[in-house]
A and B are shown apart, each in its own frame.
Chain A
Amino acid sequence: MSSTSSSHAAAPARLLGKRSLRRSLSRLIRSLSPHPRIRRWTRKRHGVDPDPFTLPGRRIYILPTGLGVTYAFMLFAMFLGAMNYGNNLALGLAFLLGALGLTAMHHSHRNLAGVRIQSAGCEPVFAGQMARFRIAIENPSPLTRYELTASNEEGIAAPQRIEPGARAVLEVIVPAEARGLLPLRYFELATRHPFGLFRAWSVLHMDLRCIVFPRPSAHGKPPPLVETDTGGAQDLSRGDEEFAGLRSFHPGDAPSRIAWKAYAREQGLQVKVYAGTEVTSHLFDWDTLRGLGVEARLSQLCRWIEDAHAAGHAFGLKIPGTHIPANVGASHRQRCLTALALYQSDEQQSSES
């Protein structure tokens, strides 16, 4: 038993060695690809990419993955064995698989080249949330694109298959830390198709921004008193007292306002419009929040806006330089929150990027 144990001891050492070798290799490869310095270099080299942008082949980098390196080792072992035994068919198989690997490299590259990249918007988020930049990838080629994915240092989008002429939307996530305009500094469009042996990727710098609303402050400070307003007179289309007519449906309209009777008369989708007489509204005023810092004031205003919107109350906003009259609705809320988000932040954002 003792005589065989020495030959056995060598085996686990070899296995471990292989694993650590694999790990260090994959680390090497990972360190090569999304390295910040290389990314900055590509940025300097290619500048800001237009939107939409058709990805040219020369913008694509390609390197073997850990599996690709394993595959190469396997082929080398096959090659040595075939040469040693002077076995031509075994050698032929090694060459065929090697040529297949190189073909796969070209397919990997071509799978990415020529796609049309277009921004598909980014829903505004509150500070502290994750901004999801939507990137639409269109395949203008007559052949299917497989396993396309977008990534940045925060994560990787689920790979998508894009049929000829079709498009898919990939989401890149960036944590929104502060209010303002959050830029998407870069993202990578990548693929490991066809065999996972190679990773082809391109670093893209598109001028994409996401509006980040201030983080709403904690509940607590009561909103300013409700004031009865003549707002109904100002805005005929709002209010909920008196039926004022019909207008055509647009996505986002509340289903309860759809004039189903008109629809049944085959007049298309119409929405009932009410004109209010007695509209009560809040006015959220910057100046009422004395003693607080800029960000704290914005957070408090944000909280009030959210609460009022959730309760269905009308509100107006007054901050230095901006006055938004009282109103209700999703677009009004967005307008107000955007005003908060961008308060005194334009210069900062542009200088930062």
Chain B
Amino acid sequence: MSSNLLRVESLSPFGRKLSWVIAGLALAVVPHVPHLSVWILVLLGVAIAARLVTELKGWALPPKWLRIPIAFGALFGVLLTYRTLNGVEAGTALLVVMAGMKLLETRSIRDLTVVVFLAYFAVFSGFLYNQELLRLPYMLATSWLLTATLMRVHQTTLSMPVREAVGLTGKMMLQALPLAVLLFVFFPRLPGNFWAVPARSQASSGLDDELSPGDVSELSISGAIAFRVKFDGELPPPRERYWRGPVLHDFDGRTWRRARPLYIPQAVRPIGTTYRYRVTLEPHQRSWIFALDVVTDWPSSAVRTSDLQLVTRQQPISTLTSFDLESATHYEVAAPLPTAMRRADLRLPERRNPRTLELARTLRAEAPSDEAFIEAVLSMFREQEYFYTLEPPRLERDSIDDFLFNTRRGFCEHFASAFTTLARAAGIPARVVTGYHGGEFNPMGGYLIVRQSDAHAWSEVWIDGKGWIRIDPTAAVAPERIEGGIDAAMPEDEPVPGRLIRNSRVLSNIQLAWDAANTFWNNQIIEFSALQQSWLANKIGLEELGWRELGIAMALTLGAFFAILSAYLAWRFRPRSRDPVLQVYEELCRKFAQLNLPRLPHEGPNDYLNRLASAEPKLARQLSEVRDIYVGLRYGPSPAPANLSRLKYLVNSLGTSG
């Protein structure tokens, strides 16, 4: 590759254009590298290399009978890999494949232009994946370079220097920017999708809908942001910041799974304070909305399951999405537990974890009530040698037995799963709730950041007459995990993502400022919608913002853009003021033309002035001086500006004497 680049100078003008187009295409495809299948990248690489080699060696392009089967093979490959041609992933793959195929038949300026268009599309689909602020400069720079390349591709006579093209297109993009911004602001936003968007395959959440403590011997936690929450008023106290995710019911002795969700409505009566807030979820390709436990009011685009979990009605969350919610941290369910749910939440696998079942029966026998049993289990966790760690040992087949009696080391999943098993064995309906706990308050933005490392699991038990009670056994083992987050719970020598940063005030402030900028970006630009449009309309004094107003605004915008841009360009292109020396000379020519001595078309200043001098011997001396000064000023190596006034004087005096 490097030898190819070194030899760029030896390429033809077309080859040079081609290599720039390829560079632009590569820049546009780079952001897609993480999520494209390897074979597609290899195909593109091979196509690029093949096209460059044919250009360098002057070989013929692959013939049609070869290109068409390759193109169909690639199309079929995309279909096989992604099972569809619809959607962002398959669409992007198709785009990259098409660009590669197009390169193989690129022989004209038109083909090069089409490749640039495909590269623009790659930039576009990059935004569908990722709208982060950090990405923006790269994407803009890529579009800029592509535009400059487009301009250079269309220079047929001379090859335009890169700098000139970049400068010209930069100016043009700046001129286009106001219109783009105004269109962005005024263009009516349509709710909903035009066509169904298939869900993306890979999940990017710290949460799963399964939980098997003991399988993972090391929890890989990332500091990536899961969601952000902005409260309208008071924040709930840190210990009550439970963000509810999927609820797990089915246990096979090792793995907890979600049951088929039952939509049995249960009336929930909130107790105490309710909180209003807006949660902004990073895309995680699931339909889960992480609401403060328990959600009491939600928009119509979401629905609350019988597990009290909030989910979206239709689409999984594949872009940054916000919901306005209301929650209460305490609640009760007055109605009795439906039999089907009671049965599901008491079920335990037979002949698994016998020691745990035995322990539960012993403890229940000793305890006067269900509440006393629960307290006894929690105090067991608290007082006996149980440890909170992110690097627990792997567990045997009967994972609860192994954890409770042998290893005694684990994190929230281990404790929640052990507690729930014990409660079920004692005849108390219980379930595992996954979600997030805590969150970091960003004082610069006034909102809470919840990261993937805040993922958590806890238990809920059913107490007749009270409803579901949240029991967090992790709080019994590591209360600092609940009070102070994961950093506080972990010993110094265990790695926690981001702790280093959080311990340094400067770095922490920088990180919070950056996150505040991101949040502003997310809320104002990425989430820009009809809501912000009407807010802006109110600002400029419009009562209502309907299609009519938006249409008028767009028409005005376009009209103003056209008027201002054409006036500006006309002003920039206005003819430069004429050369004053030439003006004086033309004045002289006019004067002698009146004396029937016009300058003939083929006569230069020397010939003409010599002819004048011989025709008007009286003026010969002056004319020869005029000639010398004029020739000096116009063609001389270092024109002396002072001579201009002398020239003017001479020509004027010729007028009076002639």
Contact = CB atoms under 8 A, between A and B. Distances in A.
A132 B90 CA distance: 55
B172 A81 contact: no
B168 interface: yes
Contact of B143 (A4, A96, A98, A99): A96
Interface stretch (A100-108, A200-208, A232-240): A100-108
A8 B69 CA distance: 12
Given A71-B117, A88-B526, A96-B177, A81 B109 contact: no
Helix, strand, loop or mixed for chain A's interface?
helix
A314 B658 CA distance: 46
Given A78-B121, A100-B173, A143-B573, A92 B157 contact: no
B493 to A, nearest CB: 42
A106 B171 CA distance: 13
Contacts of B150: 195-196
Interface in A93-128: 93-100, 102-104, 106-107, 109-110, 113-114
Contacts of B123: 93
A277 B432 CA distance: 127
Interface stretch (A32-40, A154-162, A323-331): A154-162
Contact of A89 (B127, B169, B193, B576): B127
A97 B120 contact: yes
B184 interface: yes
Contact of A146 (B121, B131, B155, B173): B155
Contacts of B168: 194
Given A74-B121, A88-B527, A113-B573, A93 B566 contact: no
Contact of B124 (A78, A106, A147, A159): A78
Helix, strand, loop or mixed for chain B's interface?
helix
A194 B167 CA distance: 13
A277 B583 CA distance: 50
Nearest to A92: B184
A11 B121 contact: no
B199 interface: no
Nearest to B135: A89
A140 B566 contact: no
Interface residues of B, number: 67
Interface in B67-110: 72, 75-76, 79, 88, 109-110
Contacts of A78: 120-121, 124
Contact of B179 (A102, A107, A165): A102
Nearest to A73: B117
A141 B573 contact: yes
Given A74-B121, A80-B194, A96-B177, A161 B157 contact: yes
Nearest to B75: A11
A320 interface: no
Contact of B173 (A96, A109, A195): A96
A313 to B, nearest CB: 29
Given A107-B569, A141-B576, A160-B157, A83 B128 contact: no
8 contacts: A8-B72, A78-B120, A81-B128, A84-B193, A88-B527, A104-B172, A141-B572, A165-B576
Interface of B: 72, 75-76, 79, 88, 109-110, 113-114, 117, 120-121, 123-125, 127-128, 131, 136, 139, 143, 147, 150-151, 153-158, 160, 168-169, 172-173, 175-180, 183-184, 187, 189-190, 193-195, 197, 318-319, 525-528, 561-562, 565-566, 569-570, 572-576
Task: Enumerate the 8 nearest inter-chain pairs by beta-carbon distance, A residue then B residue, closest first.
Answer: A99-B176, A140-B575, A99-B179, A90-B127, A96-B180, A89-B127, A99-B180, A196-B154
